[in-house]
Structure 1
Amino acid sequence: MKKTIVWLLVLLLCLPMMASAEDVIKIGIFEPMTGSYAGGGEMEMEGISLANELYPEVLGKKVELVVGDSKSDKVEASNAAASLVNSGVVAVLGSYSSGLSMSGADVFAEAGIPALTATSTNPMVTQDSDWYARICFIDPFQGTMLARYAVEQGFRKIAVVQEIESEYAVGLATYFEKEIALHEGFEVVSKGNFVNTDQDFSTLLTEALSKEPDVIFSSVGYAPSAALIIKQARELGFTGAIVGGDTLDAPELFEIAGAYVKGVIFTTFYDSAQPATEKTEEFLTAYRAKYGKEPAGPTIMAYDAYLTLLNAIETANSTDPVAIRDALFATKDFVGAAGPITLNETHDAVRPVVFKQMAEDGVSSFLAIIEP
């Protein structure tokens, strides 16, 4: 009799914990929170955290964010992905950096866990994948539009500097160069490689500037490298244009390069000066109140990725990863803060690219928006 009473007491004590576990839906956050890409992870985490504060529940259950730090390393990214799978997440958001997303892709696929990236633009992230989706544009489009911009501006002689160990940077530069090659009278006169631990770009830049380029195209995995390239190019006397992709949309660009950022042109996902939907103002008001600054493109995209995933869970009316995956891949005309989101047959979003230009005080202004 005493044993029966003891077991009943144990069961009663466990019931609240069981109920608590059943009332929680775990979503994995797959981001580089430390290492060379930590700034990118932080930008996306700001958006996800804010979205979670404003929309903390789905299907009547609390959303618990489980963070897996990839440490900006491909091996560690695979380990972080495995850790998230083992923690019981039903889906994953991330990562900043296409290479890191690709490093976790096989782990998520093997476990049958859907993943959604806000900003990984390399097409290989979703190519031939039954589990990865994205809400951003892809590099064939971004690289082509950057090249066409260079042509429109009459930048006939182009120097390319690329981060050779970054799948994103190499891919973007490749698509950029392919488009340039289609235009008679325009050519890449210099191409230099670097790694993200490099600090001194004087040799690379001296070689590039000896070709007298009209523009430097900086294809980098994250902004600090671009900032050093900008600063050192200007110190070497280069007065031409400097252009880059979406990874230049980060506070480190101005923090490191200072007033040398004046005139730098880059692509990004969104410009806060042009509200896109009824959800835009909600995001901007909440973000400014919480962080006291203007959001970068990756931040609003990560915010939208969270909302898109919650919408998929609601649509599926299930926490089953397969059902969530199927609903996610079928996303159509979902209204996000950065604009409407529809995923195509390759699980990629079809959306415009925004061009912005920086002033010497680090404030960027809208230049153009180009639809696909």
Structure 2
Amino acid sequence: MSIFNNKSCIALLALISGTVAAETEQATNSTEPNTKPKRVQTFGDLLDPDLPGVLTPKGSFVLDTSFSFTQNSSNRVSVVGYTVLPSLIVGLIEASDTDRTTLTFGLTGRYGITNRLEVEARIPWVYRYDSVSKRDTNTPAEGATTTTFDGSDIGDIEAAFKYQINMETAPYWIAGLRFKTTTGTSPYDVPASTEFGLEELPTGSGFPSIEPSLTMIMPMDPAVIYANLSYIWNIEDDVTTELDGSSTKSKIDLGDTIGISAGMGFAVNPKFSFSLGLSHRTILKSKINGSTPSDSKLLQLDSISMGANYAINPETTLNVGVSAGLTADAPDFQLTVRVPYTLR
């Protein structure tokens, strides 16, 4: 679909492979004395003043496998007609119930180029399953009509850089830059109909994006306060949509996203820590052919999250996190399990 698809994949692979290969060779030949053992970092690690930084230490490679389960549902009543009196409606009343389930398996690699700078690449595989039930409430019907959709494929591959601005005194400031490709199946590459919308489910957004971010980490023994500010810029692109056999070409500028989050991590002991946080995202209105459609909406996504981190051994940790949506547009529930493993 996108002209960025092949080019972004080639650039991403070349960038990651070239940087990691060069720095791996340099780390292998290094003979620095008194080097501390490389290990996965938790909230408890941030309280250790002898650590070189809060990012992946120089020469360390972390392989992070993850599984995410997301559930979202919505109930809607649509009226096709007109109102004669406040209590009298002439027309068709339709009730619909939509349940959406998304499973994401991710493989992430992080490498510490220096104690200040780390590079990251993430490859996701996405499975989606939607169930849509519809029923006309003012016409005789035996039951609701249920239609199911699913889709599975590789998602959008991402690459990121993180740089720790200060090393000596808290709070620690970390600048990040993330680039998302369009390797996943685009919403504009799957067939659609006027009755149910998409007939197959996409696994990607269909647009490349660039996300700068700034994170603050403030250790306050035995807790750590953190805050994050980010902006996702979705790059405008030309798309071709297929609806009921007819195709339409358009220039779409997907709405950018402003993200703010904050929370606290608490170290119970050297092996176990937990965290609490709040997240807010504002998705701006999208544009088609340079203008904003009348039905375009400004979306507000708020969620609360909880997480627990347990250090299985010096190389491996187990991280479990859950989040619940606080607004109508946010996912109802999300469960994420991550197992980072440090390769020495």
TM-score for the superposition, normalised by structure 1: 0.29
Larger radius of gyration: 2
Query: Which structure carries more strand by proportion?
Result: 2
Query: Which structure carries more helix by proportion?
Result: 1
